[in-house]
Structure 1
Amino acid sequence: MDFLNVPFRTKGERSYGITSIADFGTPIGQLEQYLIDFHQYIDIAKIGIGSAYVTPNLQEKINLYKEYKVIPYCGGTLFEKCFIQDKLEEYCKRLKELGIEWIEISNGTVDISLKTRLSLIKKYKKSFHVIAEVGSKDQDKEMPLEEWEHEINLLLEAGCKYVITEGRDSGTAGIYNRSGNVNLELINKITANIDVTKIIFEAPTPKQQMFFINQFGANVNLGNVKLQDVLVLEAQRHGLRSETFFLGEPTWSLS
C-alpha cells in the first residue's frame, strides 16, 4: 500500500535507519520463514552473546542471512572471551572461514582499556568492518556523561562504522536504569555533538524503540531488536502505532 503520507524510510543497503536484530538461537526453519517475509526490514543480525561458538548449524545460518542480504556478526561477548584467553588470532581466522565480514569490539563484561580497544580497531579495520560498543552490562557501573561522549568520538575516529550504546537484551543497563527507562540526560549528551546516524541504540523493547523513534525520527538506528518484533518496529517507524502516530505529521487543531 502506498496511499498514505508516512515518514520517509531508507531502503536497500541502508547506512542509517538500521534495524539490528539479536539472534539468541533461532532455529533455521523458523529463521528462514521470518526472512522470507521480513528481510527487507532487517539490516544486521547479531548472533547474540557467545552463542556462535556452540551453534551447530552456524555456517548454514550465516549463509541464510547473507542470502537475504542481512549482515551477520558475532556478539561482543565472544570477542571478549577470545581476548581474555589470548585467542583473537584464532577467532579472526574462524570469522574469515565462516564468511563473516564484521567484528564487534566491546568491553561489556571484561574491562578492556580504551587504549587497547582503539589499537584493536585500527588493527582489525584492515580486515573487517568494525563495530564497537560503549557501556557496561553491569547495572552497578555508571560511566560519567562526558566519558560516553569522549569514548564514542574516539572509537569513530579510530575507524568504527558504528558505535553501539549498551542496553543489554533486557534493556536494564548502560543507557537504561534498572526499570528500563532511558537516561535522557545521557542520550542528550551523547547526541549533542555526535552524528546520530553513526550510533546504534540498543532498544530491545517496543517502549524503548518508540522513545528513540519519537526522539530522532523514523530512521534512527536500533539494535538488540527481537526477530518477532521486526514488523511491529517497522510499523512504528512509519507512524502506524498510537505512540508514533503523529510522527512527521503537521500539528492538528480541533478548532
Structure 2
Amino acid sequence: MDFLQLPIRTAKPRAYGLTSIIDTGISYGELKNMLKDYGHFIDVAKLGMGSAYITPNLKDKIDLYKEFNITPYCGGTLFEKSYFQNKVSEYSNYLKGLGIDWIEVSTGTINIPLQERLNLISLLVKDFHVIAEVGSKDIHNQMSVSEWKNEIKLLLDAGCNYVITEGRDSGTAGIYDQNGNIKTNLISYLLEDLDYKKIIFEAPTPKQQMFFINEIGSNVNLGNVKLNDVLVLETQRRGLRCETFYIGEQESILPI
C-alpha cells in the first residue's frame, strides 16, 4: 500500500526527468534480468564510447532496450571516429540498419569546429533525433562559461532535442574538475537562461547526482548513470535518501 507523499515524477515516455544509463558491456542475459526489475526507471541507454561497433549480439540488445521502452543510442566517440575517417554517411546508414533513431554529435576527443557541427546537425535532423555534447574529455581544454552557454543555445537552435554536458563516465572532465568536483559556478550560470529540461547533465556518481537533484529538482535529466545505480538514483529522486530527504517537501506532492 502506498502511504508516503513523495515528489512528483514525470512518467514514461518522459520528455524530461530522464535517467540515461551508460552501457559499457553488460551481457544480453544480465541486461534482460536487470531490465525486468529496473527498466521502468530508465529512459535512455547509451552504448558507451565506441563499444557498439564491436558488441556481440548488438541488435538483440537494441531490441531488448526497445522492448522496455528505453531509447538506445551510440556514444559520441563512435560518431567522432566516423567523422575523423570521413564516414558519417556510412555511420548514419549503420544506425538506420540497427533501428537506432538517435544520434549523438560530439567533440569530446577530437576538435570539430562548432560551425561544422551545426552544419552536420542541420543534415542529420532530417533522419534522426539529434543530441549534441558540449565540453571536452581533455581536462586541459577549458571553455569559458560564456562559451558553454553560447554553444548550448546554438546547438538547441540548430534542432537538437537535447544537449549533454560532458562529464565522462568517470565524472572528471567537462563540468567537473579532475578530482570530480562540480564546477558549481558554471552550472549556476547555465541555469540562468537555459531550459534545464533540454540539458542532460552527465553525473556518473551518486554525489554528483545528489547535487543536481537538490539544485534543480527530482526531474533533472541525468546521464552516464551506471546500471547498478539506477535504483539508488530513483531513491534519491523520490526524497528517500538522507541527502535528498527534503526534496519536494515544499512542492506539490502526490503519492508514488
Residue 58 of structure 1 pairs with residue 80 of structure 2: no
Taking a change above 3 Å as real, the CA distance of residues 118 and 219 of structure 1, as seen in their structure-2 partners, is same
Counterpart of 1:8 in structure 2 is: 8
Residue aligning to 1:235: 235
Q: Which residue does the alignment assign to 2:34?
A: 34
Q: Say if 2:107 is the partner of 1:107.
A: yes
Match of 1:126 in 2: 126
Q: List per-residue Cα deviations over 1:117-167 (Å, max 9, x = no partner).
A: 000111000000000000000011110110000000000000000000000
Residue matched to 2:117? 117
1:155 and 2:155 correspond: yes
Deviations 1:181-216 (A, max 9, x none): 110110011111000000000000000000000000
Aligned partners of 1:233 and 1:194: how far apart in 2? Answer: 24
Partners of 1:68 and 1:180 lie apart in 2 by 32
CA distance in 2, matches of 1:144, 1:82: 28
Measure how far apart 1:2 and its partner are.
Answer: 2.2
User: In 2, Cα distance between the equivalents of 1:134 and 1:59?
Assistant: 28
Tell me: higher relative CO, structure 1 or 2? Use CA pairs within 8 A at least 6 residues apart: 2
1:210 aligns with 210
Secondary structure of residue in 1 paired with 2:223? strand
Structure 1 segments unaligned to the other structure (5+ residues): none
Aligned amino acid, residue 153 of structure 1: K
Aligned equivalent of 1:77 = 77
- CA-based RMSD: 1.0
Matched residue, 1:23: 23
Give the length in aligned residue pairs.
251
Deviation at 1:250, TM superposition (A): 4.6
> What SS is found at the alignment partner of 2:132?
strand
Query: SS at the partner of 2:155?
Result: helix
Structure 2 distance, partners of 1:33, 1:56, is 18
The alignment status of 1:196 with 2:196, answered yes or no, reads: yes
* Percent of aligned positions that are identical: 62
Secondary structure of residue in 1 paired with 2:8? coil
Where 1:6 maps in the other structure, the secondary structure is strand
Residue segments in structure 2 that go unaligned for 5+ positions in a row: 252-256
The runs of at least 4 consecutive aligned structure 1 residues that moved more than 4 Å come to none
Aligned residue for 2:94, secondary structure, equals helix
Q: Letter of the aligned partner of 1:172 in structure 2?
A: T
For 2:198, give the aligned amino acid.
Answer: K
Aligned residue type for 1:4 = L
How many angstroms apart in 1 are the aligned matches of 2:157 and 2:224?
24
Q: TM-score, normalised by structure 1?
A: 0.97
* CA apart distance, 1:71: 0.2
Question: Partner of 1:69: helix, strand, or coil?
Answer: coil
* Structure-2 separation of matches of 1:26 and 1:78: 18
Name the CA distance, whole Å, in 2 between partners of 1:14 and 1:151.
Answer: 25
Measured after TM superposition, the shift of residue 36 of structure 1 is: 0.6
Task: Give the secondary-structure state (helix, strand or coil) at the position aligned to 2:45.
Answer: strand
Give SS of 1:2's match: coil
TM-score normalised by the chain length of structure 2? 0.97
Match of 1:175 in 2: 175
